[in-house]
Amino acid sequence: MSILDPIYLLVALATWPIWRRRARADWPARFGHADRLPRPDRPRLLVHAVSVGEINALRTLVPILAEACDLVISATTDTGIARARDLYADRATIVRYPLDFSRSVRRFLDRVRPDAVALVELELWPNFIAECARRKIPVAVINGRLSARSFRGYRLLRPFLRRTFARLALCCAQNETYRARFCAMGTPSDRTRVEPSLKWDAPPTQVPHEQAQALADALGIDPARPLVVGASTAEGEEALLHEACPPGVQLLCAPRRPERFDEAARALPACVRRSSPDPRPDAERFLLDTIGELTLAYSLADVVVLGRSFGNLHGSDPLEPAALGKPILIGPAHDDFRDAVQALDEAEALRISTRERLDQDLRELLEDPARRTRMGEAARRCVESRRGVSRRVAEMLLALAHHEPRPSDSQHRVSPERVAEKPA
């Protein structure tokens, strides 16, 4: 038993009402119980992504990896599992990632038996990393991100987490500041490098017209009237968008969390819900209460407003609507996507708005088709100019899975202390 197990147990007991209320499924798999995977005839790589956003980021990486190794993808959330099955079930085995109890981790690794592990963004659970080290399974972080908010918390626990970070075989961080924070937490600098976010590669540049049209027809969206899509909205943002949209403009909201679907419907008067469509010719408010159709909604939009950015959360990913050539508005709270927002803002493909100015910004864009076109074209160019990271990351992961020497990265040697405190 790990020294962490009693701590995890106390936390689980204290938070049980929350877990129970969310009605999480698949408990045996969360404790590592499931059928053992057959032994492959080539190296096996386990890629772990927490939920839908991280799963989506793998869309260009997975095909490359699946050609060269036996690929297993794990996720933590129910929505992440569902999305992984939708996208990758024909090329990879989809499994549930375990809770970080030592026995759960051992059972999980006994059944999966990976030759290497890649963790998307962070997800460094101490028992999991320690057990991989004991079994000599190299662990990499890809798309690495350690925000200022997370770094403050991790730094308080640095004496306990340093060994966990030091055990990483490779860390591909999204920018120099994130890289320095990993080093400051204990990852040896010669095992780190900077690679832009995989999400620059992931978004499609077009979607099947017939699928998008089917969504529009099912909801009753009028193609002759402007449509604003509020993506990954959080509490209060559906009402904000409803009030900010000019008269006659259609609004489709897609809440980030499924448990908020009913609450969001109440904030959108007389809305048509995707889960039980009842299209009406006079409808102006629509609710996308399904998983996996947001890309189709983006393709229908005249303007995209990114949620989780007008309150105390930390933004939503702008790259998918950008790749589809859509003009974008985002609120001031977007720390989790600072690099992408900054790049798109500098390209004049995105505008940072506020709660007070959202109605004015929407009106100006909706009244100026030429400006919307310029912003959309600039967004598409910005995304295209940054593609290509997936193949580089794939080569490094496959080298780990084959236990080949990792390429050196001396060009990125910097002092962690010099940049670890930068806001990113």
Give me the tens of pLDDT residue by residue for the chain, a chain 424 residues long.
Answer: 687 888 878 877 877 676 665 556 688 898 999 999 999 999 999 999 998 889 988 999 999 999 999 999 999 998 899 999 999 999 999 999 999 999 999 999 999 999 999 999 988 999 999 999 999 999 999 999 998 888 999 999 999 999 999 999 999 999 999 999 999 999 999 999 999 999 899 888 899 999 999 999 999 999 999 999 999 999 999 999 999 999 999 999 999 999 999 999 999 999 999 998 888 888 999 999 998 899 999 999 999 999 999 999 999 999 999 999 999 999 999 998 988 999 999 999 999 999 999 999 999 999 999 999 999 999 999 999 999 999 999 999 999 999 865 444 434 444 444 444 455 5
pLDDT at 416: 43
> Strand, coil or helix: what is 118?
strand
What separation in angstroms does the CA of 187 have from each of 143, 144, 173, 396? 15, 12, 11, 17
What separation in angstroms does the CA of 200 have from each of 267, 347, 389? 33, 15, 8
pLDDT at 252: 98
pLDDT at 37: 96
pLDDT at 413: 40
What separation in angstroms does the CA of 325 have from each of 72, 92, 106, 210, 374? 33, 30, 46, 18, 9
Distance CA 273, CA 417 (A): 50
CB 318 within 8 A of CB 350: yes
Domain 209-384 sits in CATH at: 3.40.50.2000
Ramachandran assignment for 14, one of left (phi > 0), alpha (psi -120 to 50 degrees), beta (any other): alpha
Distance CA 230, CA 355 (A): 14
Report which residue type is found at 256: R
Domain boundaries, the chain: 4-201+389-419, 209-384
4-201+389-419 and 209-384 agree in CATH topology: yes
Going 97 to 98 to 100 to 103, the CA torsion angle's sign is: negative
pTM over 0.95: no
Distance CA 305, CA 177 (A): 28
Residues labelled as active-site residues: 54
CB 92 within 8 A of CB 114: no
pLDDT at 418: 43
pLDDT at 422: 52
Report the top-level CATH class of 4-201+389-419. alpha beta
pLDDT at 410: 39
The burial class, CB within 10 Å (0-12 / 13-18 / 19+), for 201 is buried
What DSSP string runs through 313-332? Answer: S-----HHHHHTT--EEE-S
Question: In degrees rounded to 5, what are phi and psi of residue 336?
Answer: -70, -15
pLDDT at 12: 75
pLDDT at 27: 84
Of 210, 252, 262, residue with least CA distance to 231:
252
- 115: tokens are 């030759």
pLDDT at 424: 56
pLDDT at 109: 97
